[in-house]
Amino acid sequence: MMPPSFSVSLADFSAFFLVLIALTWFLSRMLLVVKKPLPPGPPTGWFGNFNLPSSYQWLHYAKWKELYGDIIYVYVLGNPIIVVNSAQAAEELFEKRSRNYSSRPIRTMVVELMGWDWLFSSMPYGSRWKQHRSLFRRHFHRMLTSEYYSVVTKETYTTLRNLAHTPDDFAHHLRRTAAAIVMKISYGHEVSDKGDIYVTLADEAMQGLGMAGIFGSFMVDYLPILKYVPACMPGANFKRQALIWRKKTKAMIDQPFQAVRERMANGTAIPCFAQKELEKLQQDVNSDPNYETIIKNVAGISYAAGADTTVSTLLSFVLAMLVHPDVQERAQQELDDVLDMDRLPTFADRSKLPFIDCIVWECLRWNPVLPMGLARLVTSDDEYGGYFIPSGTSVLPNTWAILHDADVYPDPLIFNPERFSDQKRNDDLGINKLPWPAFGYGRRMCPGRWLAFETIWFSIACILSVYSIKRSIDEDGFEIVPEVAYTSSLISRPKPFKCRFIPRSEKADQLIQGTAP
């Protein structure tokens, strides 16, 4: 039986909680009533709309566009939310009005409870965010991507060999390569072929982020006061899960960085981002004592922002080659014309392989890695299209809907790289525009997009030059056409499928074996 004193305190807490919710709702309504009309949206009850989709939000919001238009307003427990479903609205708000739309809402579950406060993509706009982004850009801006070509080449060659030995494990091989590139650049760490402790730590932490990353996935996102609920209380499973994820998040960022510091201390340092910045810090007598934390954070961000997004795009590529084999044939013809089946592609070949570029762009558009963009925070009252947008509103860019607008991308559900050829694109009319929204908008656009694009490009060019990606065969000898199905997490990727990687010729097999160090 519950002690009487505890029972009373819980009742008092519940009563206070309900009063707080009601007061928040009434005050917000009183403030909004004198303004212009809010954007249209689904019917809202006293405390908001509790019928919001819990999975594949981007698909549901895209359907709502037909009912409510380019911007949709929903209200949940004192939280005004606007979903942006069109490129025109996204460009107007996030690009032209970036000063007012570049911050982030407080992500109670992810940032405060799970410990992702070091991830600068989730930081509010301000000096701390600028410090982190500035350091990241110093090492990953467009003019520096060539410095990482040797790392990308080495690890991509490892993928080619691994596909020859265990082609059924292609998803693991692609993931290993994406992780190895980032770990080498950030920490100087060589990722083994079979398994790696640091990659495992990062993957476990990223799984939690994927599950909790979309705004509103947990009630505590809408009601931050719930973060004070003791983890032992009934119904506080979110708090207990957050503690588990928090340990993994901390291990992900602390352990590989500590390994760099130990190598530097014993004289075995390997050139990498963390080592270079730590050496600069040690030589600066007037350095900020907190700057080491920024270095550690940015090193971790490189993995969090790069590895998962790269492998998700490459898995989309493999799936697309199975569903649309004609695209693979055309790409291989272009590669053969340039390489004459005599060598592997290099980054210097990119200008002569425009169709590979088109494939990369279409992989980014077809099923974007972040179909629901990260939430923005409106810092001052605003107006768009005659509608009032109140300060404090969370604004969610629906990247999937934007990149599947049939007026911009005809037959948007079809994987068609040709749409990005010079003959099909019309920037003046806004037809088949390059899908930059896959990387975000304005001041919060992904600063690592240049290296990400070139890493994906090189992987696709190398794989197609020596392998034919074929459908699996069932027991009766018939080809299995995989279903185009994706996960509903923050970082969306194809659900598991099977295929075959077959060397295109004896010469191709020799080229694969020739990549061995």
Give tens-digit pLDDT for 391-419. 999 999 999 999 999 999 999 999 999 99
Residue 376 is inside which H or E element, if any?
strand 376-377
Q: Do 458 and 153 contact (CB within 8 A), yes or no?
A: yes
Per DSSP, 92 falls in state I
What type of residue is 78?
A: G
Q: Could you read off the pLDDT tens digit of each residue along the chain, which spans 517 residues?
A: 333 333 334 444 444 554 455 455 445 544 444 468 999 998 876 666 667 788 899 999 999 999 999 999 998 877 899 999 999 999 999 999 999 999 999 889 999 999 999 998 889 999 999 999 999 999 999 999 999 999 999 999 999 999 999 999 999 999 999 999 999 999 999 998 777 888 888 888 888 888 888 777 788 888 888 899 888 888 889 999 999 999 999 999 999 999 999 999 999 999 999 999 999 999 887 778 789 999 999 999 887 777 778 999 999 999 999 999 999 999 999 999 999 989 999 999 999 999 999 999 999 999 999 999 999 999 999 999 999 999 999 999 999 999 999 999 999 999 999 999 988 998 878 899 999 999 999 999 999 999 999 999 999 999 999 999 999 999 988 999 999 999 998 899 999 999 999 999 999 999 999 999 8
Mean of pLDDT over the chain: 89
pLDDT at 6: 33
Q: How far is residue 374's CA from residue 209's CA, in Å, rounded to a whole number?
A: 12
Q: Which of the four CATH numbers 3.40.1010.10, 3.40.50.920, 2.40.30.110, 1.10.630.10 does domain 35-513 have?
A: 1.10.630.10
Domain boundaries, the chain: 35-513
Query: pLDDT tens, 49-90?
Result: 667 788 899 999 999 999 999 999 998 877 899 999 999 999
Angle between helices 170-187 and 237-265 (to 10 degrees): 60
Q: How far is residue 470's CA from residue 318's CA, in Å, rounded to a whole number?
A: 9
Query: pLDDT tens, 217-262?
Result: 788 888 888 899 888 888 889 999 999 999 999 999 999 999 999 9
